[in-house]
């Protein structure tokens, strides 16, 4: 169930679930992609996707895409000379929606389902890896918010040079922060979707870095994060941690133009970022719409249909506003 919240009028409207991805073949291809989302490579000249399985084993899956829909591998250079790798679901529309992944994620998984949902409605979508993530060049950083905003700008400028129009930007989790920050700094995109972004940036750090993280990073200059197997996962530098702590989403929200329509979507049982953060965005951003999806967690594990439906309805109603 989706709660549609209008904070300006304090009205609460409840809508029943509206599945938008109901056909079984479409669902099967999403399940297949998500299962192997970290190991997918796309052959840009053919429709099949090659799945790298266990060592010495492989298989090929035909995704049965919509007729005429192609996924084009596109490489874009950012301002730091690094190559950003993405996939364009090109329906032939001039308009493009750019999809931005979250922390330690890639252009696969949720981004795939959102892109397929958009393409089924004739909307081209571009999903890409931020620098230091997935197939893109660069070094992974804990913070990197400003650099990821720059990555997004490079993507938008690339399509503008190709005579295409980025009509909307969407980000999940950390990607949600990036799209709101982008809208606060640049004023060329007028439709923004923030899916489960974080408002209070000082929360959630202790869970990742442990207690006394500030004292430890000031003493050593970094904190090494290890995986459950005890292997080194990534390093949090003092600079990247301070960037995270100094990123002010309240100030950013206030700087978003009045003519920029922002949708925030959040799950009611988000275990990573509390749902109160969504309400805080709604109270801060001038032209804002809030949707709370009942029962959804941070990854919308069992609520992807509702998420895609909410996003599609918002985009169709707002992408071509005068």
Residue 302: both structure tokens together: 């069992």
Number of neighbouring beta carbons within 10 Å of residue 183: 26
Residue carrying structure tokens 């795939």:
112
Half-sphere exposure of 245 (CA within 13 A, CB side): 12
Residue carrying structure tokens 């309240």:
250
The model's pLDDT over 56-67, given as tens digits with 9 standing for 90+, comes to: 222 223 344 455
pLDDT at 9: 33
For the chain, what is the radius of gyration of the CA atoms? 19
pLDDT at 3: 55
pTM for the predicted model, two decimal places: 0.80
For 37, the 3-state DSSP assignment is helix
Low-confidence ranges of the chain (pLDDT < 70): 1-68, 321-322
φ/ψ of 29, rounded to 5, equals: -70, -35
191 Ramachandran zone, left/alpha/beta (phi>0; psi -120 to 50): beta
φ/ψ of 66, rounded to 5, equals: -60, 140
The model's pLDDT over 163-199, given as tens digits with 9 standing for 90+, comes to: 999 999 999 999 999 999 999 999 999 999 999 999 9
Instruction: Give the CATH class of 2-25+68-201+248-318.
Output: alpha beta
Q: CA-CA distance, 63 to 52, in Å (whole number)?
A: 15
Half-sphere exposure of 84 (CA within 13 A, CB side): 27
Residue 42: both structure tokens together: 């796309």
pLDDT at 304: 96
pLDDT at 76: 98
The model's pLDDT over 301-310, given as tens digits with 9 standing for 90+, comes to: 999 999 999 9
Residue 263: both structure tokens together: 């949708």
Select from 207, 209, 235, 208 the least CA-distant residue to 221. 235
Domain(s) labelled CATH 3.40.50.1820 in the chain stretch across 2-25+68-201+248-318
The model's pLDDT over 34-77, given as tens digits with 9 standing for 90+, comes to: 444 443 333 333 333 333 323 322 222 334 445 557 799 999 99
Q: CA-CA distance, 169 to 181, in Å (whole number)?
A: 11
Q: CA-CA distance, 96 to 98, in Å (whole number)?
A: 6
pLDDT at 61: 31
pLDDT at 110: 94
């Amino acid at each position: 169930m989706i709660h549609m919240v209008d904070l300006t009028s304090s009205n609460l409207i409840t809508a029943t679930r509206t599945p938008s991805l109901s056909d079984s073949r479409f669902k099967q291809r999403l399940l297949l992609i998500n299962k192997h989302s970290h190991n997918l490579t796309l052959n840009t000249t053919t429709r099949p996707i090659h799945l790298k399985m266990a060592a010495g084993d492989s298989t090929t899956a035909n995704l049965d895409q919509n007729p005429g829909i192609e996924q084009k591998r596109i490489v874009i250079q950012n301002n730091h000379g690094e190559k950003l790798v993405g996939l364009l679901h090109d329906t032939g529309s001039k308009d493009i929606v750019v999809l931005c992944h979250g922390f330690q994620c890639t252009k696969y998984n949720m981004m795939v389902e959102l892109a397929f949902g958009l393409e089924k409605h004739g909307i081209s979508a571009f999903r890409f890896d931020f620098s230091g993530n997935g197939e893109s060049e660069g070094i992974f950083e804990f913070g990197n918010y400003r650099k990821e905003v720059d990555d997004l700008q490079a993507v938008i400028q690339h399509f503008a040079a190709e005579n295409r129009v980025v009509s909307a930007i969407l980000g999940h989790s950390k990607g949600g922060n990036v799209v709101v920050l982008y809208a606060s700094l640049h004023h060329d995109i007028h439709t923004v979707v923030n899916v489960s972004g974080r408002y209070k940036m000082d929360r959630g750090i202790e869970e990742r870095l442990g207690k006394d993280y500030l004292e430890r990073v000031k003493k050593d200059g970094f904190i090494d994060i290890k995986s459950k197997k005890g292997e080194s996962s990534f390093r949090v530098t003092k600079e990247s941690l301070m960037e995270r702590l100094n990123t002010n989403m309240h100030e950013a929200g206030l700087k978003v133009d009045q003519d920029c329509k922002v949708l925030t979507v959040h799950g009611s049982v988000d275990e990573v970022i509390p749902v109160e953060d969504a309400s805080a965005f709604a109270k801060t951003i001038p032209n804002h719409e809030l949707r709370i999806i009942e029962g959804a967690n941070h990854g919308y594990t069992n609520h992807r249909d509702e998420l895609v439906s909410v996003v599609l309805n918002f985009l169709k109603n707002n992408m071509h506003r005068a």
